[in-house]
Amino acid sequence: MTNLFQKHQNTLNQAINAIQTRGYWSLYKEQPNPKFYGESADEDGKKAVAGYFSKLFDLGQPGQTGVSNTEKSPYCIQSDISYPVCDVNVLIDAAKKAQKE
pTM across the whole model = 0.52
Residue 40's domain spans which residues?
Answer: 31-100
The total of structural domains in the chain comes to: 2
In terms of domains, do 38 and 78 share one?
yes
Q: For the segment 11-40, what is each residue's pLDDT rounded down to a tens digit? A: 999 999 989 988 878 888 777 778 888 889
Q: Please tell me the distance from the alpha carbon of residue 25 to that of residue 16, in angstroms, as a whole number.
A: 10
Q: For the segment 35-79, what is each residue's pLDDT rounded down to a tens digit? A: 888 889 888 988 998 999 999 999 899 999 999 988 777 777 788
Q: Please tell me the distance from the alpha carbon of residue 51 to that of residue 45, in angstroms, as a whole number.
A: 10
In terms of domains, do 43 and 91 share one?
yes
